[in-house]
């Protein structure tokens, strides 16, 4: 805890999916203006259904996680205070199922579009997400919920 008491929220002032959008826009720019990194047309029969499967799984996971937050009567928005630690639903398996869902959707769109650049950039997108969002959220939750959050962190992995 800080000397002023717990923070009122994690200190994230933008929707975290914007990081994924920015990564994809960078990939589109690299695709257009640097070098094209597309999967061959012959891979379309595999990539397209695989991509749609990832998108579907991502959307389903996202809906499940948001509904779980809603049922727990806490916010999904990182610039608002959390009212409790949520450890049910997909939060039993991952501390960040919404970011896992974002990652699945991002990768799925990349496959459907047969673009490799988004996949090349994905580690940087995830590193940015960790540095500017996840670390802040975890620090805030640790300050706000103390032992309860520490125990949750010990039980549940960050990603999957």
- Give pLDDT, residue 2: 46
Could you give the C-alpha distances from 160 to 34, 56, 97, 155, in angstroms and in order?
A: 34, 18, 8, 12
Beta-carbon contacts of residue 78 (< 8 Å; ≥ 6 apart)? 9, 10, 12, 15, 16, 133, 136, 137
Identify the residue with better confidence: 74 or 55. Answer: 55
Report which of 74, 66, 77 is spatially closest to residue 18, judged by C-alpha positions: 77
pLDDT digits (tens, 9 = 90+) for 3-31: 555 567 777 888 899 999 999 999 999 99
pLDDT digits (tens, 9 = 90+) for 86-105: 999 999 999 999 999 999 99
Q: What is the pTM of this model?
A: 0.91
| Helix then strand then coil, % of the chain, to nearest 5 | 65, 0, 30
Identify the residue with better confidence: 17 or 80. Answer: 17
Beta-carbon contacts of residue 43 (< 8 Å; ≥ 6 apart)? 114
Look over the chain and give the mean of its residue pLDDT values, rounded to a whole number: 92
């Amino acid at each position: 805890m800080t000397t002023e008491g717990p923070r009122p929220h994690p200190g994230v002032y933008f929707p975290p999916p914007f990081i994924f959008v920015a990564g994809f826009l960078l990939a589109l720019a690299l695709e257009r203006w640097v070098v094209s990194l597309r999967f061959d047309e012959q891979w379309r029969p595999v990539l397209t259904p695989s991509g749609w499967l990832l998108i579907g799984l991502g959307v389903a996971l996202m809906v499940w996680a948001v509904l779980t937050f809603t049922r727990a009567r806490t916010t999904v928005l990182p610039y608002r205070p959390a009212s409790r630690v949520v450890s049910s639903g997909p939060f039993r398996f991952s501390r960040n199922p919404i970011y896992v869902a974002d990652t699945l959707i991002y990768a799925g769109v990349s496959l459907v579009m047969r673009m490799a650049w988004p996949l090349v950039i994905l580690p940087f997108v995830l590193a940015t997400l960790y540095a500017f969002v996840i670390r802040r959220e975890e620090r805030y939750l640790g300050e706000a919920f103390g032992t309860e959050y520490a125990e949750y962190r010990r039980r549940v992995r960050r990603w999957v």
